[in-house]
Amino acid sequence: MVERGKLDPRSKLFFVATISSFAVGVSDTRMLLFLFILAALALVYLGTGIYQAVHRLGKLIYVVLALAIVQSVLTDAGEPLIRLMGVTILTDYGIERAAQFLLRVSIIITSSFLILTSTTRDLIQGLLQMKLPYELVFMLSIAAKFLPTLRNEMIHKVMAMELQGIDLKGIRMGKKLKAYRYLLLPVTVNSLLKSRELGVAMEMRGFRAMETRTSFRQLRLEGKDYLFMGATAATVIIAYIIIT
Amino acid sequence: MSQNKTRYIEIENISFGYGKGPDLFNNLSLGLDKDEITVLLGENGSGKTTLAKLVMGMLGPRSGRIMLDGVSVEDLALGEVGMRVGYLFQNPDHQIFGATLIDQLLWSFEFLGEDIDLAKGKAEELIRLFGLEGSRDTYPYYLSLGEKRILALASVLMRSPDYLILDEPTSSLDEERAGVLKEVLKNLSERGIGMLIITHDYDFPEGLAHRTIVLSEGRACNG
């Protein structure tokens, strides 16, 4: 039995890569539905609920839905379902395309959440042991750690702006864009200044001073990881053969 | 302290904690007046900044309410609170939006289509008052932390608020600027602007504060 959440991050990455590649490659709705269920089951099994995943997506979910609608309308192929003044608005193929798009995005996002069940430190170590360049992996880790700081700064800046009497929700789009310019410019400059300071601090602590780096912490693929990766590959390939 | 008098800011039996964490305050009550300067002291993590954010409506209490001039803060938009109470953030970077000093002081007036000429005069006066003339063309992000703090305070003062909440106003200020700040605050107080000063600098409030409150273990005690 696989211990929940305790898989090696590399086996999770393998799962995400396999599921996502199939999601992008196949165009069969039933196969996509199967992949989504598989990703959702893995997510629930490894300790993160679907609800939390959806909650984390927040407003992005509306963008995905809007894109799905755009995908479905004004497609000529298929049986017309809605026609307006001689123009085909919606066809059965359009609906299928929208459903496929939704499933694809859901599979990629749901399976990606699986990575969050590993700590950043483990994930980085996993990537390093996959022979990715240390500098690249380190950049990724810094970016991951920097995101909450950036978010916090944005929240405070929006509040500071609102305290100046600017109601971001109530203003017209043109004004809103202007307000965002005032928001984003200092945030960008501040981020650049911070990254420069970080670079200096890293060099002062000997970053890249030696050609080779070793890690005290080493990850080891265990039987349960091989089982998980094997089961993933076998399930997806068998399902692909049966369904399509 | 009189219990019958209605104060400009009334914090009534509020409880607050972050997320699902324990209460930082439990049934905390406090009144703040426009005719006094109150200094809020307390250890790191005692909730001084949190209390300020609650008063500003940036955070919502778990229970209890905060009244601003007789109106519950929960019923006011952030902008409505901000027009009456000027808030100096602990981190001045949060309040800097402009590309130059003048731009920083005027951008919201321009954005809201308000009288720029009048605001320009006030901005020049504040730049002079705080000795920022030498940094006039510097991009605000390249200013020192102390200068940024002074600039953020000047931006707050541009709106002529009735009350000021200043979170660590003297942090990273040199002695000369701290002295100027003290004079400015004294002057504002004489003009009827009340203020709550959150600080760790025990010398700064001397000769300035009318009242000192110490926040400890979720309770406010008169210092």
| Range in A196-200, B14-18, B46-50, B121-125 the model is least confident about | A196-200
| Chain B touched by A177 (CB under 8 Å) | no
**B130 phi, psi to nearest 5 deg:** -95, 5
Find the CB nearest A166 among B94, B111, B140: B111
Contact call for residues B166 and B198 (beta carbons, < 8 A)? yes
CA distance A161 to chain B (A): 8
| Chain B touched by A157 (CB under 8 Å) | yes
> Strand B211-216 to strand B194-198: parallel, antiparallel, or no bridges (unpaired)?
unpaired
**What confidence tens digit (pLDDT) does each residue in A31-65 have?**
999 999 998 888 887 776 666 666 666 666 777 77
CA distance B55 to chain A (A): 12
* DSSP strands (E only) in chain A: 80-84, 87-91
**CATH architecture of the domain covering B33-61+80-222:** 3-Layer(aba) Sandwich (3.40)
Q: Please report residues of A whose CB lies closer than 8 A to that of B111.
A: 166, 175, 178-179, 182
Mean pLDDT across the stretch A3-17?
82
Calpha distance B100→B60 (Å, rounded): 34
The ipTM of this complex is 0.90
- Best of A149, A154, A156, A163 to disrupt the B interface (most B CBs within 10 Å) is A163
Interface size between A and B, measured as CB pairs under 8 A:
62
DSSP-assigned letter for residue A2: P
Query: Looking at residue A45, what is its pLDDT?
Result: 79
Decide which of B79 and B1 is more confident: B79
H-state helical runs in A132-172? 134-163
Find the CB nearest A165 among B56, B58, B112: B112
Sorted by where each begins, the domain ranges of chain B are 33-61+80-222
Q: Please report residues of A whose CB lies closer than 8 A to that of B78.
A: 159, 162-163
| DSSP secondary structure of B75-134 | GS-HHHHHHHEEEE-SSGGGG---SSHHHHHHHHHHHTT--HHHHHHHHHHHHHHTT-GG
Q: Please report residues of A whose CB lies closer than 8 A to that of B94.
A: 153, 156-157, 159-160
Q: Please report residues of A whose CB lies closer than 8 A to that of B99.
A: 185
Q: Please report residues of B whose CB lies closer than 8 A to that of A187.
A: none
**What confidence tens digit (pLDDT) does each residue in A166-206 have?**
988 888 888 888 898 899 989 888 888 888 898 899 889 88
Find the CB nearest B78 among A157, A162, A178: A162
